[in-house]
A and B are shown apart, each in its own frame.
Chain A
Amino acid sequence: MKHSESYVRFLLPVVTLWWREMVRFCRQRSRLVGAFGQPLLFWILLGGGFSASFRPPGLPEGTGYLEYFYPGIIALILLFTAIFATISIVEDRREGFLQAVLVAPVGRTSIVLGQALGGTTLALLQGMLFLLLAPAAGISLTVLSTLGAIGVMILVSFGLTNLGLMIAWRMDSTQGFHAIMNLILIPIWLLSGAFFPASGLPVWLQWVMKINPLTYGVAALRGCLYLGNPAAAGQVPPLLPSLVLTALFGLVAFVAAAGVARRSAA
């Protein structure tokens, strides 16, 4: 009955924690509304409102703000879902669920990986749902660009979820988390090229955007959406380096989150 094989011992907890996130999500519909509805509303209201007066510089003729904002909103959906997933970790700790996981013979790396994959899957599902609206933004997707966008979404949401986990493992209240979210996570999104492009900004802001890892996630997303027509993506970092940096960000964030979890006292 007891399976001592090390891969089972590592993977079984990962799978079961991931599965639990899925079941919970399906039973809490309000989370879907929060993580999907709000960005959708932002897109329509902000995108629609700005497109009359604001045309981002560096874009080819005919590209409106609604279209520019579209990949940015996907990034926002991924960010929101990652944040929700992370808040649920803080709640797990407060409610006692996490304690039971911590006294089980399970490594912290397994726990973090399970949590991160859970958050990533949820973010990806919602991102894919939003991808269906691409034609409404004036973007025509091919099979290849769709697959590419999905791949980028996986990398970005894995990185963001781990970034959130890194914070959540240090927190014991959701209130503290909201403060961090507004001070760190939202600015990361605002300064990623999701909301406005870097060109024409003050130099210091351009530098902030250059060292912001999400900048390359959003750039990679743009690159994939306009796979056949790179010029339409505007002045963003090129696709391949962006992909590599985004993958690297995911890896570093995971290692850091696992490190924080290992050091964290129960």
Chain B
Amino acid sequence: MDNPVVEVEGLCYAYGDREALAGVTFTVSRGEIFGFLGPNGGGKTTLFKVLSTLRPPTVGRVRVFGHDLARAPDAVRMRLGVVFQDPSLDLKLTVMENLLHHGHLYGLWGQALQSRAREVLEGLGLGDRARDLVETLSGGLRRRTELAKVLVHRPELLIMDEPSTGLDPGARQEFSAYLRRLRQQDGVTILLTTHLIEEAEQCDRVGFLHEGRVVAIGEPDALKGTVGGDVIVIDAHNPKELQGKMRDRFGCDAVLVDGSLRVERPCGHEFVREVVEAFPGAVKSAAFGRPTLEDVFIRLAGRRLWSNEA
């Protein structure tokens, strides 16, 4: 019965000759926390710009709350909360003044706006900071103020570009706990982009964005399930040579990523022992573990999320 909040179909976007999005299709349901994971330059920021109504979609269809984004951006804007990667706060204004200014832009004013702003600040533990100038706040508090500001007009859909940039791990945990509470209490739908594995693991569903395409989409556990068994990473003195030897001996295709060999096998610990014993002296170090979302990405894209070559 529930229509999806976000429906994207065949979205392409190019800057001149450079194609940033090459046919992106996905949907996000009401109350879902959806994360786009991908390397920098994979198209995340462009997708964010289109969804936040900063850039009109040219090719393909984007519907938010059933409205066509290209034709009726204002109908979408009222119900949308956008958290930018760059802080959008005015440093010379106080926390409260920033919130009031934001409310005015969304047509709120007077007593109703005042009490709503105070309510949001209390909810985020910023109640005693209302009169502080934003430039005097720490990075973590500014980030929280940023979120408070966006919540003033009660958005039904939050779109966030790398929201936990600049937060320490503790603050990041707190932030994602708050997002889940927001979803639970107010039924807010959340779409975020990230390059952090841990942040993506917290989402209900994850989409991988690579070279302007969605290469995989699904629940984190289901995605990790596509990797067979354990992931074994071997550093060798001569990786190319060992790759060939392993193929001959074990019939397995080890993938060379950033100078390391990666193999997916059940019972990783046994395989590590077998390799080390079969090729004495060839292995510098070996590790194995349960697959992470990054392993899924490497399997799909043949490169790490954070690669020196990128």
> Which residues of A pack against B, CB within 8 Å?
1-4, 8-9, 12-13, 15-16, 19-20, 23-24, 27-28, 95-97, 99-106, 265-266
Residue in chain A with minimal CB distance to B150: A100
Rounded to whole angstroms, the CA-CA distance of A102 and B77 in the bound complex is: 10
Rounded to whole angstroms, the CA-CA distance of A111 and B212 in the bound complex is: 33
Rounded to whole angstroms, the CA-CA distance of A1 and B78 in the bound complex is: 13
- Answer yes or no: B240 CB below 8 A from chain A CBs: no
Rounded to whole angstroms, the CA-CA distance of A3 and B109 in the bound complex is: 9
Rounded to whole angstroms, the CA-CA distance of A244 and B52 in the bound complex is: 43
Contacts of B116 in A (CB 8 A): 1
Rounded to whole angstroms, the CA-CA distance of A266 and B54 in the bound complex is: 6
- Answer yes or no: B88 CB below 8 A from chain A CBs: yes
Q: Out of B54, B89, B106, name the residue touching A105 (CB < 8 Å).
A: B106
Could you name 25 residue pairs across A and B whose Cβ atoms are closer than 8 Å?
A3-B109, A8-B107, A9-B107, A12-B107, A12-B109, A19-B101, A24-B93, A27-B133, A95-B86, A95-B88, A99-B54, A99-B84, A100-B102, A103-B52, A103-B53, A103-B77, A103-B80, A104-B77, A104-B102, A104-B105, A105-B78, A105-B107, A106-B105, A265-B55, A266-B54
Contacts A105-B74, A105-B78 aside, 10 further interface pairs with beta carbons under 8 A come to A4-B107, A12-B105, A15-B104, A19-B101, A103-B52, A103-B53, A103-B82, A104-B106, A105-B107, A265-B55
Contacts of B84 in A (CB 8 A): 96, 99-100
- Answer yes or no: B198 CB below 8 A from chain A CBs: no
Contacts of A97 in B (CB 8 A): 88-90
- Answer yes or no: B97 CB below 8 A from chain A CBs: yes
- Answer yes or no: B49 CB below 8 A from chain A CBs: yes
Rounded to whole angstroms, the CA-CA distance of A97 and B88 in the bound complex is: 4
- Answer yes or no: B112 CB below 8 A from chain A CBs: yes
Q: Out of A16, A23, A24, A266, name the residue touching B104 (CB < 8 Å).
A: A16
Q: Which of B68-105 contact A (CB under 8 A)?
A: 74, 77-78, 80, 82, 84, 86-90, 92-93, 97, 100-102, 104-105
Contact B74–A20 (Cβ < 8 Å): no
Rounded to whole angstroms, the CA-CA distance of A99 and B87 in the bound complex is: 10
**Nearest Cβ on chain B to A2's Cβ, whole angstroms:** 6
Rounded to whole angstroms, the CA-CA distance of A103 and B56 in the bound complex is: 12
- Answer yes or no: B28 CB below 8 A from chain A CBs: no
Contact A101–B92 (Cβ < 8 Å): no
Rounded to whole angstroms, the CA-CA distance of A158 and B116 in the bound complex is: 35
Beyond A101-B105, A104-B106, A106-B105, whether A24 also contacts B77 by CB under 8 A is no
Residue in chain A with minimal CB distance to B135: A27
**Nearest Cβ on chain B to A91's Cβ, whole angstroms:** 11
Contact A102–B107 (Cβ < 8 Å): no
Contact A16–B92 (Cβ < 8 Å): no
Contact A23–B97 (Cβ < 8 Å): yes
- Answer yes or no: B108 CB below 8 A from chain A CBs: yes
Contacts of B78 in A (CB 8 A): 105
Rounded to whole angstroms, the CA-CA distance of A106 and B92 in the bound complex is: 22
Contacts of B54 in A (CB 8 A): 99, 102-103, 266
Residue in chain A with minimal CB distance to B74: A105
Residue in chain A with minimal CB distance to B94: A23
Residue in chain A with minimal CB distance to B86: A96
Rounded to whole angstroms, the CA-CA distance of A23 and B78 in the bound complex is: 26
Contacts of B101 in A (CB 8 A): 16, 19-20
Residue in chain B with minimal CB distance to A15: B104
Rounded to whole angstroms, the CA-CA distance of A130 and B82 in the bound complex is: 43
**Nearest Cβ on chain B to A6's Cβ, whole angstroms:** 10
Rounded to whole angstroms, the CA-CA distance of A97 and B101 in the bound complex is: 11
Rounded to whole angstroms, the CA-CA distance of A19 and B92 in the bound complex is: 13
Rounded to whole angstroms, the CA-CA distance of A65 and B169 in the bound complex is: 67
Contact A24–B109 (Cβ < 8 Å): no
**Nearest Cβ on chain B to A97's Cβ, whole angstroms:** 5
**Nearest Cβ on chain B to A172's Cβ, whole angstroms:** 13
Rounded to whole angstroms, the CA-CA distance of A1 and B97 in the bound complex is: 19
